[in-house]
Structure 1
């Protein structure tokens, strides 16, 4: 993206918007597909309301038009708040096959402000992500219910609503779903979805152009404000101050605030206490990684949307090899489909195996779960898994339990409440203490470093192994 640079002032601003569109697309498309199909498109320029992009061949253009044009359309409209034409052509030959809303020549000096009764505020979010097509499971039912309640009754349910979970578990989908539902069912309300990164960029541009009144009006005149990936604001003092003032203004007016993050509010670093207090003052819910059954159902739904028949056997095969990241999961499905089309084959188990050849490392991570880690650690320390799940305070059991919790946090990116639930309902505070205790010891105890390295390697390789003689590898002083 750094290559997208213009020497002309007017085009520089358009380039900046194009970069923002790429950032938005990167959030909704898995990394492999983004690098292959989206980022590889060449930006040619913008003139008279037409954004021009080029690709190397017809296959590339056809694939983008068929699979990503709607996403480009939504992202462009989301960033620019107006429609312009996009041309995707070959080698500089601008033969428009499809038109899509995209970029305008320059952003308005003063952002458009929508009053309470002017209808839904722009920009629009991706209409492909709704409550109806969200695949439910034990991992996400509570978060889904909370988001749906907020969408039904903005400002009267949970305010603010803070959703957190590791990358690719469906946070952005839920924020889009809230936005989509409100725009279709509460048309008198204004609603704005924004990423924390775009909020920061907007703030910087507004300060530089001395347009802060317009900036404040844009965000504070919303009935519902959704900020995605708020962890981006860590160590950004000006952004934190702007967000705090925005949230306080909205809250005092009884407006709805929804925030997503990759960690619990208490896990945010270098964030003002007042802002942390505001973020945690409402309902805080976590999204766990999807289990195998949910991953299979996600694949089947995605295949249906892509209009090809995916046998359940193949869905299970892909899901068993994929990590618990929905975007990466969809990327593997796209690879299976593209490989079959390239070879002019039906999608079969054999073609799927061929398509995913070389993705073996994903297999171990796909099988990795809290239960696997618990079993592995118990075996390593010569204990029963039930010992780890008990309230037994014996030194060796306490240390093994802490190590298991630490690995769940490190390898699965599990939240502290989720870890606590997996260890016989221990509290969020107890889980956090255990993880931090191990992290602290790793700075001074080389034997513990070796133990963690051994366990990580064995978990990555997926091979069961007891330590030497089935005895405890290391004895620790279990000061907690």
Structure 2
């Protein structure tokens, strides 16, 4: 038996005792990277996995290794390291004997067990958002509801422009479509830093096209969109009713497709059900791979919460995580929102969460489908009252931070909760330009990744808004 065979045996035992979501999330791309005297090092893809395996699974892994090697393995450690494409198994030593000497530096086998050089994910400002390094396959939780989309996305990364071209991913709000699109971009950049990738929302594509027409820069526009290696387009459903944009996207699609360039598109519904979408675009979108993503099941929701807690370096008891996963069944975005709400409340109170303290916090949590309709005026009044400022000041031209930041929060919530377009958001906020609304949304999105007080503020504003 060599190290490859040993690790496959260990994984086989672990798979029997774990849910599919947990097994796939934490043990995919792991391998035995080093073997020394009575000690084994496991290679893992990232720090999240390393920390989680150390915390949750070391005893089980070590016990399984000892059973399979007749107690020859005494120590277990982890190392962040890319898995070789074809790792060569190292021979195991028998109990009571010394391990075989390490290969000499001249032996090419040694290179399989050296950390491979990886490219940092570049921040590519090609559209409304940059590629965000946190959106990668390692942080994407796989369950029954998204395993097809996940597998198709990985196939695209293995062979861009291949049989899964275009890849069309559809599903409801907050189910991970953007995560998959950006993970594809980040993975392809990791493999080849020179890959030319363009990630845009449909609205950005439309705005760029209109802007190019108005400023007589259509050639520049075409060069930007038609010379990429990979085009990632989010929320294509917003192309509905825009005849000129559909015409331009059709020609952009054709040129990329004919040049074997990869196209990945996301939508909240399948192509045939997008209103007023031209038949020729429906045909193009359906000629590759269609993959849907649905709401996560209970096990997947628990795995998602585990990962989010690890990212935030915050520990919650299992019964609390189970309660959150039971209460929030809609999508990943609301699941993380509920978790943020629990964490922020107890951090401000400086107390440890208990099941009894968490239940009231989530008692008002309601699925999106049951939320009542709100108006821009109600939102503006709610935010003005929350920050104790006059509504006229909020709508005014002052750029003082005490007014500008609440104004940006209004724009963010109007976009997230009301699905308002950027031009309409600008008009509601004192007739501002749509680019101001875009900048505000982008800024708040970025701040929310790190600022837990802002997360708490927006959650409270939404509670007050829906309680009206």
What is the TM-score of this pair, normalised by structure 2? 0.51
- Counterpart among 168, 179, 192 of residue 173 in structure 1: 179
- Counterpart among 279, 303, 308 of residue 302 in structure 1: 308
Q: 1:277 to 1:285 in 2, by over 3 A?
A: same
Match of 1:216 in 2: 222
Match of 1:291 in 2: 297
Query: Separation in 1 of the partners of 2:235 and 2:344?
Result: 31
On the 8 A contact 1:296/1:316 being kept in 2, the answer is yes
On the 8 A contact 1:234/1:270 being kept in 2, the answer is yes
- Counterpart among 144, 149, 169 of residue 143 in structure 1: 149
Q: Deviations over 1:380-411 (max 9, x none)?
A: xxxxxxxxxxxxxxxxxxxxxxxxxxxxxxxx
- Counterpart among 341, 346, 350 of residue 335 in structure 1: 341
Query: Separation in 2 of the partners of 1:364 and 1:281?
Result: 32
Query: Separation in 1 of the partners of 2:266 and 2:150?
Result: 13
On the 8 A contact 2:123/2:132 being kept in 1, the answer is no
Verify: 1:323 aligned to 2:329, yes or no.
yes
Match of 1:239 in 2: 245
Q: 1:293 to 1:120 in 2, by over 3 A?
A: closer
On the 8 A contact 2:157/2:187 being kept in 1, the answer is yes
On the 8 A contact 1:195/1:230 being kept in 2, the answer is yes
On the 8 A contact 2:165/2:263 being kept in 1, the answer is yes
- Give matches, 1:328-407, under 5 Å: 328-359=334-365, 361-362=366-367
- Counterpart among 241, 258, 263 of residue 257 in structure 1: 263
Match of 1:228 in 2: 234
Tell me how many residue pairs correspond in the alignment.
246
Query: Separation in 2 of the partners of 1:339 and 1:146?
Result: 39
Q: 1:249 to 1:303 in 2, by over 3 A?
A: same
Q: Report SS of the residue matched to 2:233.
A: strand
What is the TM-score of this pair, normalised by structure 1? 0.50
Q: CA deviation at 1:319?
A: 1.2
Divergent runs of 4+, >6 A? none
Verify: 1:127 aligned to 2:133, yes or no.
yes
Match of 1:158 in 2: 164
Query: Separation in 1 of the partners of 2:240 and 2:202?
Result: 10
On the 8 A contact 1:244/1:275 being kept in 2, the answer is yes
Q: Report SS of the residue matched to 1:309.
A: coil
Match of 1:458 in 2: none
Q: CA deviation at 1:351?
A: 2.1
Query: Separation in 2 of the partners of 1:364 and 1:152?
Result: 38
Query: Separation in 2 of the partners of 1:343 and 1:355?
Result: 13
- Give matches, 1:33-48, under 5 Å: none
On the 8 A contact 2:195/2:229 being kept in 1, the answer is yes
Q: Deviations over 1:89-145 (max 9, x none)?
A: xxxxxxxxxxxxxxxxxxxxxxxxxxxxxx996534111110011101111111100
Verify: 1:185 aligned to 2:191, yes or no.
yes
Q: Report SS of the residue matched to 2:139.
A: coil
Query: Separation in 1 of the partners of 2:221 and 2:192?
Result: 24
Verify: 1:277 aligned to 2:283, yes or no.
yes
Query: Separation in 2 of the partners of 1:240 and 1:131?
Result: 31
Q: CA deviation at 1:349?
A: 1.1
Q: Report SS of the residue matched to 2:209.
A: helix
Query: Separation in 2 of the partners of 1:208 and 1:233?
Result: 19
Unpaired stretches in structure 2, ≥5 consecutive residues = 1-121, 371-468
Q: Deviations over 1:247-294 (max 9, x none)?
A: 001011111111011111111110111111111111111112111111
Q: Report SS of the residue matched to 1:338.
A: helix
Q: Please tell me the root mean square deviation across aligned C-alpha atoms, in Å.
A: 1.9
Q: Report SS of the residue matched to 2:231.
A: strand
Q: Report SS of the residue matched to 1:132.
A: helix
Query: Separation in 2 of the partners of 1:234 and 1:299?
Result: 35
Query: Separation in 2 of the partners of 1:269 and 1:364?
Result: 21
